[in-house]
Amino acid sequence: MRMTRLRHFHGRPTSTETPTHQYPASRGLFHLTIVPLPGLLPNGNPRQSSRHGSRISGGFPQAEPILARYDPGASWRTSQGREGRDMAAEIGISRLGQIAINAHDVDRASAFYQDALGLKLLFKAGPGLAFFDCGGVRLMLTRPEKPEFDHPSSVLYFMVPDLRAAHATMKEKGVQFEDEPHLIAKMPDHDLWMTFFRDSEGNLLGLMCEVKTGEVKR
């Protein structure tokens, strides 16, 4: 049995070190570490291990570890004990087919996604729907149908081959960026770089680039 330990970091990384078993999930604000039970002390704190470099660097304020135990009686797990991935195979889920993005002005948003981001417009359905292709995943621009849907969309991370070139091109087109391209983490075989911007509707979006170790392109 495995348990997950969640750590929340309040701020962007100031060090290029990335602790073992940690990977940034968004904007450098959240890390997920999966550890076996023997890796925790009785008080819930992680054991210090020089071999695995588990000491956290950078001086981030940390919340107490949150332990989440898997419930074998959960409704999505069968009585035969099959894992969730087996259930996905049985149902037939293979990939994401469509992502909805809230837009108060769909025509304005369509112009942004087509002209500023360079995405391919697939089709429009009436005045309130527009569909774009993003690497085989369909993006749907739509007006919120109910008040509870009227909120910023999830942060989407667009992969680009050259982050600085994409950043410069989009700035020339008037895209509002929140920051400059910056290093998020140094991984074993690549450096992860990101930068964040707003679409025409105020949704926060990101550009990301995985630079292979030894390459100078950022």
Residues 112 and 87 occupy one common structural domain: no
Tell me how many helices (H) and strands (E) the chain has.
3, 13
**Model confidence over 57-92: pLDDT tens digits?**
333 334 444 444 444 445 544 445 556 667 767 889
Q: Which residue has the tokens 């969309």?
A: 153
Residues 106 and 36 occupy one common structural domain: no
Distance CA 57, CA 22 (A): 12
Give the contacts of 73 (CB within 8 A, at least 6 positions apart): none
Instruction: Classify residue 18: in a domain, yes or no.
Output: yes
For residue 148, give the DSSP letter.
G
Q: Domain of residue 32: give its range.
A: 1-94
CATH number at residue 158: 3.10.180.10
**Model confidence over 108-152: pLDDT tens digits?**
999 999 999 999 999 999 889 999 999 999 999 999 989 998 999
Checking if the pLDDT of 55 tops 60, the result is no
Instruction: Classify residue 70: in a domain, yes or no.
Output: yes
Residues 190 and 159 occupy one common structural domain: yes
Residue 9 DSSP SS3: strand
Element (H, E) at 176: strand 176-177
Instruction: Classify residue 3: in a domain, yes or no.
Output: yes
Q: Which residue has the tokens 């002005």?
A: 105
Residue 114 DSSP SS3: helix
Residues 106 and 182 occupy one common structural domain: yes
Final residue of a structural domain among 51, 79, 94: 94
Dihedral of CA atoms 115, 119, 120, 125 in degrees, nearest 10, equals -80
- Whole-prediction pTM value? 0.60
